[in-house]
Amino acid sequence: MTDVKADPRDPRPLIGEPLALDLLNTRWAGTPVNDLLTAVEGYGIWLSSAGLSARCEADDAGLAAIRQVRDAIGLAAQEAHGQGELSAAAREGLDAVLAHGRIRRTAGPGGAEDRVEVDRPHWLAPWLAADDFLTLLGQGAQRVKQCAHEACILHFFDASQNGRRRWCRMAVCGNRAKAARHYEKARG
């Protein structure tokens, strides 16, 4: 992700992961599960935090499209981490979104320039998220992870050198797990 400041209205506990995973993190643990994308206003907040509000409008069509790609990326992330490859259903979900756009390469003053073109404006953010997910897979499907804490549903891209990161945030989920282990050891 670029150096974008999160929208101050954004209530999510983990912000700033690569675009595709940041989109997955619009759902986070709670009872019921918290979901930033239940209304157009939340979609606008996510667009702002993702640095896309100048390029994408928050409207009902965009909300439906972004929820579609979030579901597709969610399935693909689960399979990529568990199996190392995507099922036909996961590929079809991503391809259904990617079919709404393309990268157009042109000759610019400094050389090649790539521009994303979509068939309808509300598909830009979903297309960018799906494309970003494919880029992450190209860097290593095993590095797309869900937090190891049993109560956490957040995702992250493990950019650690050895690929052993387990927690979305060590200060929160990692410490909770350590405290629980310590408590069980002290009781036992």
> The domain that contains 81 carries what CATH number?
1.10.3300.10
pLDDT at 1: 44
| DSSP of 91-109 | HHHHHHHHTTEEEEEEEET
pLDDT at 169: 86
Residue 9 lies in a domain: no
Collect the ranges in the chain with pLDDT lower than 70.
Answer: 1-3, 174-186, 188
Which class for 34: exposed (0-12), middle (13-18), buried (19 or more C-beta within 10 A)?
middle
Residue 181 lies in a domain: no
Number of domains in the chain: 1
Residue 26 lies in a domain: yes
pLDDT at 80: 87
Residue 76 lies in a domain: yes
Alpha carbon separation from 155 to 20, 78, 99, 136, 143 (Å, rounded): 10, 10, 25, 12, 10
The pair phi, psi for residue 103, each rounded to 5°, is -100, 125
**What's the domain range around 124?**
19-142
pLDDT at 102: 97
Map residue 156 onto helix, strand or coil.
strand
pLDDT at 81: 78
pLDDT at 182: 45
Percent of the chain exceeding pLDDT 90 equals 78
Residue 121 lies in a domain: yes
| Packing angle of the helix pair 60-83, 40-49 (nearest 10 deg) | 60
Cβ–Cβ < 8 Å for 124, 116: yes
Residue 122 lies in a domain: yes
Residue 58 lies in a domain: yes
Q: In this predicted model, what pLDDT tens digit does every residue of 59-113 receive, in sequence order? A: 999 999 999 999 999 999 999 877 778 999 999 999 999 999 999 999 999 999 9
Q: Give pTM, 2 decimals.
A: 0.89
| CA within 13 Å, CB half, 82 | 9
Beta-bridge mates of residue 159: none
Residue 172 lies in a domain: no
